Amino acid sequence: MKANESLADALGDAGLTQAELAEAVNDYLRSLGRAGTVSDRTVRHWLTGKTRWPHPRQREALEAIFECSAEELGFAPPAGRRSPHRTEDPVRRRHFLTAATGTTAAVVPLVVARPYAVGTSDVIRLRSGMDALTVLDAAKGGHEALERAALAGAAEALELQKRAASQRIRQRLFSVAAEYTTAAAWSLLDAHSARQAMGHLNRALYLSGMAQDSIAELDVWNLHAMAAGQQQDHTQAVSAAQAALATRITRRDPLFASLAHARTAIGQSHLQDRRGALRSLGYAEDALAKAPEGVPRPVWMDFYGRAELLAITAIVRDHIGDAAGAEAASHRALAAIPQQFRRNRALATLRLAHAQLHQRDIDQACGTTEKVFALMDGTPLPGRMRSLLGEFHRDLIMLSPDANTAREWQDRYRSEWSHT
């Protein structure tokens, strides 16, 4: 008996437990006037492979929920039988209208009126929209269209919760609204607009409280720490990171605890608390080593792992005056960051240039920044990256024994640096 890994992956991507998937299938069946008799034991049989080919109505429900065929979910019809062609009902699917004009793009959720109470399947469809935002963020970084799309998703979640079938569904919709609102805040932070992001973060904190969702709450506090750092309020950044560390999820999943410790270390390094920063980095490393793999987590958490912790280590080391340690951590981060994550690679490369500059390897540092522009070729630089380039230029003027070096660097990269 072979486990159904495809269904397990789909379950993890949707952030659902076995009981929640059973509830979603039953919601779908009841919407068709059928009895909903699927239990978490039924789902367990699907996952373990004990049931290789669910009943037709159950297959239809699974296909509607995950928006793919039963075969794509890892099921296989008995020998000699073929799965009937799935005819898709567009009213039951989650749609996103994508419009691209010049350098902007928008992903706008389409609200579909339903004759039945909002249930788990609606939550799943709405959550799937976060994937579209993640793709947009990866392609373009933080920008106005991403913020608008995220706020539209939050508004739809709040509208749907008015028709929720139960308090549990209502809380999950508040959770989705918190996730979308936090994504809107992130778009502003990536554009280096921390002050504007604060309104979204405060709203997201309220929504995560309504949802009683500690993961969403941690996400908000994590971005609060980043926002405070962008505003040079590093004491507040440490407090926000420690608030993230105090959320319930950090006691259940060490990966989230590792992120909170790492964010604390950044704030402490800005305050020149060398001992505290290194201690927090050590806690982050220990927690990351304990984090289990294969545990369902929200899509936004995909960015964090060994490579990101190494990139954060480079930041912390540079701020506490260990430029050589920062350079070593940057090289290790670049070796670990997948090639397709070019924005993350560009940021790590820029941190490498900072570390080299702070060791007065002027020519090497300037040459490293050239790789940043090459990595981001064809894409406007996010505000966060332009701000870091501004810091590089400032330090270059201060540290370069030859003012011509700074002038030549500025002349060469002014157009790419200022491009928005």
- The per-residue pLDDT for range 131-187, each reduced to its tens digit, is 777 766 765 666 677 888 899 999 999 999 988 877 888 998 999 999 999 999 999
Cα distances (Å, whole numbers) of residue 222 to 34, 125, 308, 327, 389: 44, 26, 14, 25, 23
Reported as a pLDDT band with limits 50, 70 and 90, residue 350 is very high
Reported as a pLDDT band with limits 50, 70 and 90, residue 335 is very high
Q: What residues form DSSP beta bridges with 107?
A: 98
DSSP class per residue in 19-45: HHHHHHHHHHHHHTT------HHHHHH
The answer, yes or no, to whether residue 373 has pLDDT greater than 60, is yes
The whole-number pLDDT of residue 295 equals 83
pTM above 0.85, yes or no: no
Cα distances (Å, whole numbers) of residue 142 to 110, 138, 189, 212, 216: 22, 9, 7, 27, 19
- The per-residue pLDDT for range 243-253, each reduced to its tens digit, is 999 999 999 99
Reported as a pLDDT band with limits 50, 70 and 90, residue 417 is low
Phi, psi of 141 (to 5 degrees): 75, -170
The whole-number pLDDT of residue 13 equals 67
Reported as a pLDDT band with limits 50, 70 and 90, residue 35 is confident
> What proportion of the chain, given as a percentage, has pLDDT over 70?
86
The number of helix segments (H) and strand segments (E) in the chain equals 19, 2
Distance CA 265, CA 251 (A): 19
How many CB atoms within 10 Å of residue 84? 11
- The per-residue pLDDT for range 59-101, each reduced to its tens digit, is 988 888 887 888 989 999 887 655 554 444 433 333 322 332 2
- The per-residue pLDDT for range 226-245, each reduced to its tens digit, is 999 999 999 999 999 999 99
For the segment 400-407, the average pLDDT, to the nearest whole number, is 76
Domain boundaries, the chain: 5-78, 93-212, 231-304, 318-420
CATH 1.10.260 is the classification of domain 5-78: yes
The answer, yes or no, to whether residue 371 has pLDDT greater than 50, is yes
- The per-residue pLDDT for range 188-201, each reduced to its tens digit, is 999 889 999 999 99
The whole-number pLDDT of residue 12 equals 74
Cα distances (Å, whole numbers) of residue 221 to 79, 135, 243, 261, 377: 53, 23, 6, 12, 33
The whole-number pLDDT of residue 268 equals 98
142: left (phi over 0), alpha (psi -120 to 50) or beta: beta
For the segment 10-20, the average pLDDT, to the nearest whole number, is 77
For the segment 283-290, the average pLDDT, to the nearest whole number, is 98
3-class DSSP state for residue 369? helix
Distance CA 158, CA 66 (A): 22
Reported as a pLDDT band with limits 50, 70 and 90, residue 258 is very high
Higher pLDDT, 342 or 116: 342
